[in-house]
Amino acid sequence: MPVYITNTSTFLPNEPVPNDDMELYLGYINDKPSKSKSIVLRNNGIKTRYYALTKGGKPTHTNAEMTALAVKGLFKDDPNKIKDIELLSCGTSSPDQMMPSHGVMTHGWLPEAEAIEVVSPSGVCCAGMHSLKYAYLAIKAGEVKSAVATGSERFSGLLVSDVFEEEAQKLKELTDNPFIAFQKDFLRWMLSDGASAFLLSDEPNKEGLSLRIDWIEGVSYANEMETCMYMGGDKEPDGTLKGFMDYTPDEIMTKSIFSVKQDINLLSDNIVPLGGKKIKEIFEKKGLTASDIDHFLPHISSNFFKSKIYDLVEIYGGGIPYEKWFINLYTVGNVGAASVYLMIDELFHSGRLKKGEKILLLVPESARFSYMYALLTVC
């Protein structure tokens, strides 16, 4: 059974925050401007982003609230149709709490919806794609006719100065090796808040465009790779991850257990090559060539990776020229599990799409090296 994305919606909190104003929202470490901020921003290419914060760092929205507002946006022309949803699938890596799940908390912000099935795929950037795949498969199997999938993040609560541990500023290393920038101070100048939602159906729109989901495929290399990006734990000398439940309350605070961290060496050596392995397999299995792709939407965490992904696709897929790429990292920032949704939403409403065009999605996740890929057809 074919499955279609018939509408998309985005909720971005408050006003876009330019680079010069970031510390007005996140605060200063030890009352001093960051020394690495300008170097990190130069590498990642981000110009504006969104925070669910006021200036001074007070929260304005929860993750679940933003997600619910994105869902409501799908039905702004006919709010009563929200009652037709049979399944709500919500992916995030930054839930407001560990329990209850992010999905049911989002459902709680939607009293106008019915009692429905709710699922909450977790993970990091791939969580939004896992959410989409669950909804896609539920419709494809004939279990439901109408579903909503979401991707969302609220990272800013982890980045404000009063909960963010001061890091040594390694300016020379940052300049000489951009991968070093992927430490905790880097993440303060990259991560963004926001939510986006897709309405899925077993029928295309009678008027206007729809996006048929041709396939969604994923792969994890955790069987051979150590943890790279993590939160709620810390890496041991042997590479294993020690979770927060095995630390004392004092250690949780002093070791910054709940801050987001990355293993720089693992990232630099593996994130791009491993993504290329699956690209090659998919192109061969599906009989695809680069010339079949009209729009390429890769989720990149930093502009630093753009040329590296270009080279990867050149090697494994025959090359997709930059004029076919669509990236909005520079205006919305890295919104993790929501990023691919935000790209699709902007492209879907851009007026650029034509029936018959093919859209290739690529979502890498450095947590333990997972990747998701999908092909959509405009119809």
Cis amide bond preceding 100, omega within 30: yes
**How many helices and strands in the chain, by DSSP H and E?**
12, 15
Kindly give the confidence (pLDDT) of every residue in the chain, 379 residues in length, as a single tens digit, with 9 standing for 90 and above: 999 999 999 999 999 999 999 999 999 877 788 877 888 899 899 999 999 999 999 999 999 999 999 999 999 999 999 999 999 999 999 999 999 999 999 999 999 999 999 999 999 999 999 999 999 999 999 999 999 999 999 999 989 987 654 444 444 444 455 444 445 566 788 899 999 999 999 999 999 999 999 999 999 999 999 999 999 999 999 999 999 999 999 888 778 888 888 787 788 788 888 888 888 899 999 999 889 999 999 999 889 889 988 988 888 777 899 999 999 999 999 999 999 999 999 999 999 999 999 999 999 999 999 999 999 999 9
Q: By C-alpha distance, which of 319, 302, 295 is closest to 366? A: 302
The Cα–Cα gap between 142 and 85 comes to 14
Domains 4-201 and 212-220+263-378 share a fold: yes
At 96, list the tokens.
């407001």
At 325, list the tokens.
């790429």
Q: With a threshold of 0.85, does the pTM exceed it?
A: yes
Q: Could you tell me the residue ranges of all domains in the chain?
A: 4-201, 212-220+263-378, 229-261
CATH of 4-201, one of 3.40.50.800, 3.40.47.10, 3.40.50.300, 3.20.20.70: 3.40.47.10
CATH of 212-220+263-378, one of 3.40.50.2000, 3.40.47.10, 2.30.30.90, 3.90.1150.10: 3.40.47.10
